[in-house]
Amino acid sequence: MTQEAEFANRLNALMSHQRVTQTELADRIGCTERVISQMLSRRCRPQKTTIMKLAEALAVTPQDLWPKLEVAEILDATYSFQQPDGELSQAEAEALCDTAPRNRAKLPARSLPTRTR
């Protein structure tokens, strides 16, 4: 199960348990009902700030909604950096560097042969 799917399932379960409607939750965190609907149907991935607001509105920890919250932080940093005016903060750069060794290629790179005529 993807993190987005797990998040949507957890959010839906918490909303059902607490009897909170999409409209009520949207009002609590300052967004539209459509945004809540898109998160529940897995059509958008919430940013860390949204996860934090949802957790506060539902009186749970952010990890109750998104267990691997550090992954959300990395995705947010990458998204921000890809924007036209994007600039990584020192903390964001360090977070990306910390994950870099785990993402390196397992096979050594080799040069392509030169073409002769």
What would the pLDDT profile of 4-23 be if each residue is shown by its tens digit? 888 899 999 999 999 999 99
pTM: 0.59
Q: Give the mean pLDDT of the chain.
A: 78
> Taking CA 29 as the corner, what is the angle to CA 73 and CA 26, rounded to the nearest 5 degrees?
115
Q: Tell me, what's the pLDDT at 5? A: 85
The identity of residue 112, as a single letter, is L
Q: What number does CATH give the domain 3-65?
A: 1.10.260.40
What would the pLDDT profile of 58-80 be if each residue is shown by its tens digit? 999 888 888 776 665 666 666 66
Distance CA 14, CA 100 (A): 34
What would the pLDDT profile of 23-58 be if each residue is shown by its tens digit? 999 999 999 999 999 999 988 778 888 888 999 999
Q: Tell me, what's the pLDDT at 103? A: 54
> Taking CA 42 as the corner, what is the angle to CA 87 and CA 7, rounded to the nearest 5 degrees?
80
